[in-house]
């Protein structure tokens, strides 16, 4: 699920994410997300991306020791959309220096779909038995009527950002994505569907 709050998911506690990242200078550029996209998961992914970008956000390509592809493995049920965008935007910056190959397996749901699609075109992969899911943004924030209205307006803005970004990184138009989401339910897709949608480039 992608949410616009830092609290637990509607159906229970957030699943603790298991993060793979660099532990030594000579290790290959691998990173991974297994579990929900939380603030802690985003922080760990940030550190991996920065490490692979010369320790800087705006590093010059010539300052990097190498430009071997970063491999990003993803198996996630989604999570906080703001945390996702923090990772997504850093991926966009790092991709100016080195390619990021993304690999989806197991499940790639909600906000995790955009991280998968954000890999370098031609280098986005999905295991053949992976399931993908797209749905509306959701929030479990309560409060007074003005607070609920403010949260609703923000939720709509964030959802628009999500849809526009996914359209930029796939073969789907903004209208097609809203049509999928207009069914007001979780919409599940196969790896073959993801390939047809242009979210991935190859099934493995």
- The 10s digit of each residue's pLDDT in 106-162 is 999 999 999 999 999 999 999 999 999 998 766 566 656 676 666 667 778 888 999
| Residue among 193, 191, 160 at smallest CA distance from 178 | 160
Q: Which of 48, 76, 110, 139 is catalytic?
A: 110
Which domains, from first to last, does the chain contain? Answer: 2-203 (3.90.226.10)
Residue 185: its pLDDT value, please?
Answer: 81
Q: Verify whether residue 182 is a known catalytic residue.
A: no
Determine contact, residues 189/132, Cβ cutoff 8 Å.
yes
Find the catalytic residue in 76, 135, 136, 139.
135
DSSP three-state, residue 180: helix
User: Lowest-confidence range among 44-48, 127-131, 140-144, 181-185?
Assistant: 140-144
Q: What is the rounded CA–CA span in Å between residue 136 and residue 110?
A: 8
Distance (Å, rounded) from C-alpha 152 to C-alpha 139? 8
Confirm whether 139 is a catalytic residue: no
């Amino acid at each position: 699920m992608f949410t616009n709050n830092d609290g637990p998911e509607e159906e229970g506690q957030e699943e603790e994410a298991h993060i793979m990242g660099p532990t030594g200078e000579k290790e290959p550029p691998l990173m991974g997300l297994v579990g929900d996209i939380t603030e802690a998961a985003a922080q760990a992914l940030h550190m991996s991306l920065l490490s692979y970008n010369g320790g800087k956000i705006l590093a010059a390509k010539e300052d990097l020791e190498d430009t071997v592809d970063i491999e990003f493995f993803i198996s996630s049920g989604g999570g906080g959309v703001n945390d996702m965008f923090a990772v997504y935007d850093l991926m966009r910056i790092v991709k100016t220096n080195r390619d990021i190959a993304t690999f989806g397996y197991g499940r790639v749901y909600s906000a995790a779909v955009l991280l998968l699609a954000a890999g370098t075109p031609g280098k986005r992969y999905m295991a053949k038995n992976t399931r993908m899911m797209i749905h509306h943004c959701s929030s479990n924030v309560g409060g007074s009527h003005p607070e609920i209205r403010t949260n609703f307006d923000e939720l709509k803005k964030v959802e628009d950002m999500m849809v526009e970004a996914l359209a930029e990184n796939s073969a789907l138009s903004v209208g097609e994505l809203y049509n999928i989401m207009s069914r007001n339910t979780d919409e599940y897709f196969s790896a073959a569907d993801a390939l047809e949608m242009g979210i991935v480039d190859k099934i493995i």
